[in-house]
Amino acid sequence: MRSLTLLQYEAEQDRVLWELNEAAGAIAQHTPHEQQNFYYVTVAGAASAFPVMSMSPITFSSFPFIVGLKMSLLDVTVFPKDFAWGAAIAAYQIEGGWNMDGRGPSIWDTFCHAKGRVFEDHTGDVACNSYQLWKEDLKCIQQLGLTHYRLSISWSRLLPDGTTNHVNPKGVAYYNKVIDDLISCNVTPMITLYHMDLPQALQDLGGWNWTDIADIFESYARFCFKTFGDRVKLWITLNEPYVCAKLGHEDGKFAPGIKDPGISVYLAGHNMLRAHTKAWHTYNDHFRSLQGGQVSLALNSDWAEPLDPGCPKDAAATERYKAFTLGWFAWPVFCTGDYPESMRFRIETRSLDVGYKQGLRLPHFSKEEPTPLGTADFFALNYYTSRKVKDLSSAGKNNELSFVGDQGAEGVIDPSWPICGVQWLAVVPDGLRKLLKYIKDTYSSLPIYITENGFSKMGPVQIEDADRSQFYQDTLQEVGKAISQDGVNVKGYFAWSLLDNFEWNDGFSVRFGLFHVDFSTPELKRTIYRSGREYAAVISKYRSQTKPKSI
């Protein structure tokens, strides 16, 4: 028998694993966890035992379960006592049941069914079939030991034509069941009202380009607060208005597939902010005192730095890049009640350049309506990647209108950053730490929830996804540093995603899950990846280190 220090373990992992394998039971002392579903492996020199996901004592055959060792280097004690350990999904990406039990169509049904828009014409018709397999998802949630689960409601499952004139009781029943099951398993739900899937009936009336959409969204939100708010205390009105506006109304890559460069993008974004603002005020005025919950909107942002740090033009471009992405929505809500000045200035100047009437493209917030300022009870951030920014301000001056032209900046990937799966996803965990600090310094001292963060894979499936496991370890370490060294009030972390799912225009070719889903068979079997096991080990370690001492 031989004892190992943690450092030796790190250095010699492969051989050590083999030795452990040979000597199982000798150097690995296992003691049952109180919940009877973990065993601990003790390695000499380590601060504590490592939880191992195993239902039985560690033996030769259970050896592959020993995966908690690497992640255990993470100092979980820096995460605050009530930290939210979550995973996130969105309705259209997992539910399927697109026409079951009275669900109305959404813009993503229309977009996918139109063909030629999504990788190999994949659709979310079935996806993970979570509409029928919710119990399977619940098992996954429990296996990870999540404290929080972020889901979105399919607006058209609840209200098939988007309005409260017609409520679908089966939709209400489905979400009631999900919420009740989560709560009875001690998992706190966080609910997103809108994650890219507008009811098609509302798109037919003009969608996000239509002024009245804000009031219609408000009544949908009110309905949800009234129906589910006795149990749901964390609400996100809109997920990533930037993506919905830009990819849906400028590039046409996402539903509703509108390509109207330089115009609709700002109008759609504006109506989303109006919709969010109305929903937040409704909660604040009519539900907060009774229900005591919190409401925000989830903003996506890259971390951005100048391509050439010595070049003032790149530095200015970086500020514009930030203003046109995070600032576009964060400035009105957290700073002034209006868009960033630099954004307004660029858009108006460019409008003049091309002979477009000033003040028409980026709308103004009306004095008759409630202000967006102050309409968030926490900061919800989706972070995936970083960019180096180069100046484009003089390019295409007299060309036609476009968002990127207005922005006058281009984000590029640093060649030293690894790419995981999809091309846009350069892995830059320390960008998250920098962004968290930037948000605290620039926007708000409110608590921050990281509502999405993840790592994608393409190609042959690897259940032993060591690269993704490493990514989560590195990222959580950066979050830990943001908390302990930069003093950022991070309240929670939601991994994207619980399951492999329908990855929008990439269909099922891109996998983000902590659980693999076998889309080739109707059972859609879920299998935990190594990254899922390691995430579970972190959560378990956190729970065991932060629980009150029993004596």
d(CA 307, CA 301): 17
| Interface region with ligand GBH, contact rule CB under 6 A, candidates 6-14, 99-107, 238-246, 360-368 | 238-246
What is the C-alpha separation between 159 and 204, in angstroms, rounded? 15
Q: Which is nearer to ligand GBH, 283 or 455 (CB)?
A: 455
- Answer yes or no: 120 catalytic: no
Place of tokens 């708000």: 444
Residue 95 binding ligand GBH, by CB under 6 A: no
Triad 53, 57, 61: Cα angle to 5°:
80
- Residues 510, 515, 519, 521, Cα dihedral to 10°: 160
Q: Does 197 sit near ligand GBH (CB under 6 A)?
A: no
Nearest 5 degrees, angle CA 333-CA 334-CA 336?
80
Q: Is 253 in the site for ligand GBH (CB under 6 A)?
A: yes
- Interaction pattern, residues 295-324, with ligand GBH; x per rule: CB under 6 A: -----x------------------------
Determine which residue in the list 197, 465, 478, 503 makes contact with ligand GBH, applying CB under 6 A: 503
Using DSSP's 3-state secondary structure scheme, residue 150 falls into strand
- Mind giving me the DSSP string for 181-207? HHHHTT-EEEEEEESS--BHHHHTTTG
Which of 85, 384, 443, 471 is in the footprint of ligand GBH by CB under 6 A? 384
For 467-497, b/e burial (b = at least 16 CB within 10 A) is bbbbbbbbbbbbbbbbbeeeebbbbbbbbbb
| Comparison of 236 and 524: residue with beta carbon closer to ligand GBH | 236
* Binding of ligand GBH by 137 (CB under 6 A): no
In the complex, minimum distance from the CB of residue 282 to ligand GBH, in angstroms, rounded to a whole number: 24
Among residues 452, 478, 503, 534, the one annotated as catalytic is 452
Does the protein bind ligand GBH through residue 250 (CB under 6 A)? no
Q: Does 113 bind ligand GBH (CB under 6 A)?
A: no
- With CB under 6 A as the contact rule, the residue among 100, 243, 413, 466 that binds ligand GBH is 243
**C-beta closer to ligand GBH: residue 365 or 504:** 504
How many residues touch ligand GBH (CB under 6 A)? 14
86 with 146: CB under 8 angstroms? Answer: yes
Tokens of 503: 């990855």
User: Min. distance of Cβ 476 from ligand GBH in angstroms?
Assistant: 18
Q: Which residues of 209-232 are buried (b: 16+ CB within 10 A; e: fewer)?
A: bbeebbebbbbbbbbbbebbbebb
Is residue 313 a contact partner of residue 405, using CB atoms and an 8 Å limit? no
291 binds ligand GBH (CB under 6 A): no
Q: Which residues are catalytic?
A: 452
- Applying CB under 6 A, the residues found at the interface with ligand GBH are 90, 239-240, 243, 247, 253, 300, 382, 384, 424, 452, 496, 503, 512
